[in-house]
Amino acid sequence: MSGSESGAELLVAREGAVLTVVFNRPEARNALTWAMYERLYEVCEQVDADDAVRVLVLKGAGGKAFVAGTDIAQFAAFEGAEDGLRYERDGERRIGRLARVTKPVIAQIEGAAVGGGFAIAAAADIRIATPEARFGLPIARTLGNCLSMANTARFLDLLGPSRLKEMVFRARLLSAEEALAAGFVHEIVPAEAIEARVREVAREVASHAPITLAVTKEAVRRLLAARALPDGDDLVERTYASADFREGVRAFLEKRKPVWTGR
């Protein structure tokens, strides 16, 4: 895999040992379509199959957002619990694949990394952000949906239970400074310098012993995965079968505030 590859919604470029993926829907704040999620999965497979690729970089086009979640228009076709279960399982297959990439993954975060974008950032190994970056899971005021058990565990490891609950309950976005203090972000770099800084860090990491990096990453992953996750299908079914979820989708698409009923 070499050179560059372009597409309408996701761009892939290679420079030496560094492969960069650009989420390319700036007009929609880089919200992800199903096709973009699937292409990201394919790129992860390609990165692991190519020994010449040492680092994967993820970034959003336009400088205003990393990824502002999943394209919510796609949820309008959901009819009940089974659709929600399928979505969460497919989502974990894709995000889980990103977390299992054997090469270091660096997220270059400018603007919003929320919902699915927050999950993608969490699956990266190194996160470098601009001061304007924002992070969160505002699902309690937008769609009224929920996290999979695996995503909950991933966020719990990175943020701790207290901060995770406060973020979800208040539907509040963390500032870059808060994310740095929480250990979620590793560096904050001015917008005009972030491209060069990420390139510098990627090249530094790419120059190091690849087996050391791979086994360290896998050891950490195995230790975190060693605990048994409880089943959470009943929680997903309750959420996606609810009238509140359908109301959340309608309200978002109609650009109005949802009316929650708890049903």
Q: Is pTM, for the whole model, over 0.85?
A: yes
> Predicted confidence band at 90 (pLDDT cuts at 50, 70, 90)?
confident
User: In the chain, pLDDT over 90 holds for what percent of residues?
Assistant: 83
Amino acid in the structure at residue 68: A
* Domain residue spans of the chain: 4-192
**80-116 in b/e burial notation, b at 16+ Cβ within 10 A?**
ebeebbebbeebbebbbbbbebbbbbbbbbbbbbbbb
DSSP 91: H
Three-class SS state of 184: coil
Residue 68: what are its φ and ψ, rounded to 5°?
-95, 50
**Superfamily in which the 4-192 domain is placed by CATH:** 2-enoyl-CoA Hydratase; Chain A, domain 1 (3.90.226.10)
- Per-residue pLDDT at 37 exceeds 70: yes
Q: What is the pLDDT of residue 88?
A: 86
Q: What is the pLDDT of residue 2?
A: 45
Q: What is the pLDDT of residue 5?
A: 53
